[in-house]
Amino acid sequence: MDPIPTQSRSISPSPNPLYGLDSVLQEEGIGNENDPNVQQAPVSVPDQGLRRRSHTEPVEKDDSDFNEADQISGITDLNYPRVNCPEKIVICLDMSSEMNKLSFRSRSGDKFAPLKLIKRALGLFLQTKSKLNHYHQFALVIMQEEACWVSDFTYSAREIIHNLEEYSTTSECTSFDLSTLYNTLKENVELPVVLGDQSVIPPSHVVRAIFIYGRSQCQLSFSDKEAQKFLESSPYFFLDAFYIHEPVADDNKCEETFNTLCDLDCKGLSYIVEISRNPTKLHDYMAQLLAHPLQRPLQSDTAYKIQPLDEIR
């Protein structure tokens, strides 16, 4: 693990244009609607979103699942300090072949594979998080048929960005067992323990896994939930999900997969987003994950549109 950085440490903008915000937006034609030099693409395929079920909406479960979720959900009642303590963020990236099959189209008409766009968005996310707090740490998990821990925690966002570029080979995957991910996380992360009044004493850190999944034909499975229950029993463990999928249709499993991801939110504190073929929204949703899990509101309470001053008055 890298030594603890000093407070004066800062990360300058990357010389690699791959991760520069301006170059990303310019190359993809994002935000250039009024630029006469940018050729506007024809009307794009409408984003077919999936509706996230409310955390309080009733859902059919057997008694054992209900009892487990009910016990864990009580954690949301804790009144812990809303502080910007260090985060240990685990990027869990899907490396199935579907991440290279679905195409995103920019306003200029260019097409991009999801994996390429996600790596760019993650580059911006990692550098921004590191600037917000130099004590944030990052790790990397690659997911194919199983989850594999490939990069241990580091303070260096650049190191994780470099490792992301090193992994470019995808493979055909017919299944993914979420148990392998939770078991991997349990084996490699240390959950903080607060001795004393949790409503006053902040934790030394929080752990957040960002689950980036891009399969529309492969439904998630769960063979063992013991590791999940262990991790979710801590009020300082969070899991956010970023689902990239094809347009919803009868011949794919997008809706079933999205519902499974929503069911992972045992405490009602996760941010779960989904995107289909829209590069602008992909970057917007990744930016939403910048908020600290101890400081952000519930996802259902968020609003990202700026209200005009005349409406406020």
Q: Hey, what amino acid is at 285?
A: Y
Question: What integer pLDDT is reported at residue 6 of this predicted model?
Answer: 42
With a threshold of 0.75, does the pTM exceed it? yes
Stretches where the chain sits below pLDDT 50 are 4, 6-47, 54-77
DSSP-based three-state secondary structure for 154: strand
What separation in angstroms does the CA of 39 have from each of 36, 110, 112, 279? 7, 10, 17, 16
DSSP-derived 3-state class of residue 211: strand
* Among the listed residues 151, 140, 161, 117, the one whose alpha carbon sits nearest the alpha carbon of residue 11: 161
Question: Looking at residue 38, what is its pLDDT?
Answer: 34
Task: Check: CB of residue 92 under 8 Å from CB of residue 143.
Answer: yes
Helix H or strand E encompassing 148:
strand 147-154
In whole angstroms, give the CA distance from residue 78 to residue 313: 36
DSSP 266-288: SSS---EEEESS-HHHHHHHHHH
Taking the C-alpha atoms of residue 214 and residue 222, their distance in angstroms, rounded to an integer, is 18
Whole-angstrom Cα Rg for the chain: 20
pLDDT of residue 15: 36
Q: How many CA atoms lie within 13 A of 168 on its CB side?
A: 5
Contact 133, 84 (CB under 8 A): yes
pLDDT digits (tens, 9 = 90+) for 109-122: 778 889 999 999 99
